[in-house]
Amino acid sequence: MRGAALASTAFAAAAGTANAAAGPEPVDLELVLAVDVSSSISPEEMDLQFRGYAAAFRAADVARRIGAGPIGATACTLFVWSDPDHQHVLVPWTRIGGAADARAFAAAIDAAPRATGLYTSISGAIDFASGLFGRAGFEGTRRIVDISGDGADNAARPGRTLAQARDDALDRGIVLNGLAILDPGPPPSSSGARPTRQRAPLDEYYRDAVIGGPGCFLVVAEGFEAFGPAVRRKLTREIAHAPRREAPRVERFAA
């Protein structure tokens, strides 16, 4: 995975340099997708996440919303995260201007490598995501980080708390949305390699400690089988160029 991730990062950097020389390209939205791959997520659950994102970008309503914006384009990138220093860009910044571009982005997600980290550092993920903006030659009227995960922050970056990472992102005008994945099954045994999933109700934790910014919202998938429809709904709300103010702050999806 490391070689592929480094290649993707190098490609993104080269593309950003070329775009920067001509000035930033305007888009309606700069969207960072941050996908949890900590050890609490099994290979099957990880695959459900990747397939859910890919299917969402192939959905006609997602492409239609992208094209309905004033500019008609969204810039998007996807990275995976776990430990404080474990973040890898798998799909570099890409301009999505319609159905064909969205299908190509979905194909890139399908082809991305799968690998598992260890701990859950949401603070590290937010800091990494915040640093991705402004590096690929795009300038959006909105900037959103979309964090999906199945556990609370249990591995803060040295000298950084989740609250600090969140507040710094909000100060930069970045909106943080969340997709909390609830595990209906029993916690793993102490003899297994998978750590305890959560210390408190995860949906409340994401609502109170993770999301933030104007119009922020949380989508809750009640089990990994519900991830697909949950992420599709979340993307349609994020891409909408004029989000409804009366839209619920928390939405739930069951398998």
Q: Residue 21: inside a domain, yes or no?
A: no
Please tell me the distance from the alpha carbon of residue 220 to that of residue 8, in angstroms, as a whole number. 30
Q: Provide the pLDDT for residue 53.
A: 96
Please tell me the distance from the alpha carbon of residue 223 to that of residue 246, in angstroms, as a whole number. 26
Q: Provide the pLDDT for residue 109.
A: 97
Q: Residue 161: inside a domain, yes or no?
A: yes
Mean of pLDDT over the chain: 86
Q: Residue 132: inside a domain, yes or no?
A: yes
Q: Provide the pLDDT for residue 253.
A: 85
pLDDT single digits (tens) 63-111: 999 999 999 999 999 999 999 999 999 999 999 999 999 999 999 999 9
- Domain span at 248: 2-16+27-254
Q: Residue 108: inside a domain, yes or no?
A: yes
The mean per-residue pLDDT over the stretch 190-210 comes to: 68
Domain count, the chain: 1
Using a cut of 0.75, tell me whether the model's pTM lies above it: yes
Q: Provide the pLDDT for residue 252.
A: 87
Q: Provide the pLDDT for residue 224.
A: 87
Pairing state between β 25-36 and 138-149: parallel
Q: Does the pLDDT at position 187 exceed 70? A: no
Centre a 10 Å sphere on the Cβ of residue 254 and count the other Cβ atoms it contains.
13
Map residue 222 onto helix, strand or coil.
strand
pLDDT single digits (tens) 1-43: 444 444 444 444 444 444 445 689 999 999 999 999 999 998 9
Q: Provide the pLDDT for residue 7.
A: 45
Are 211 and 178 contacting, i.e. CB atoms less than 8 angstroms apart? yes
User: Could you give the C-alpha distances from 173 to 45, 88, 142, in angstroms and in order?
Assistant: 32, 23, 8
Residue 132: exposed, middle, or buried by beta-carbon count in 10 A (0-12, 13-18, 19+)? Answer: buried
CATH classification at residue 168: 3.40.50.410
pLDDT single digits (tens) 154-175: 987 777 899 999 999 999 999 9
Question: Residues with Cβ < 8 Å from 38, sequence gap 6 or more?
Answer: 82, 83, 116, 117, 118, 119, 120, 149, 150, 151
Are 125 and 87 contacting, i.e. CB atoms less than 8 angstroms apart? yes
Q: Residue 33: inside a domain, yes or no?
A: yes
Q: Residue 22: inside a domain, yes or no?
A: no
Pick from 61, 198, 175, 93: which is nearest to 126 by CA? Answer: 175
pLDDT single digits (tens) 114-153: 888 999 999 999 999 999 999 899 999 999 999 999 999 9
User: Could you give the C-alpha distances from 96 to 30, 33, 194, 226, in angstroms and in order?
Assistant: 10, 14, 37, 25
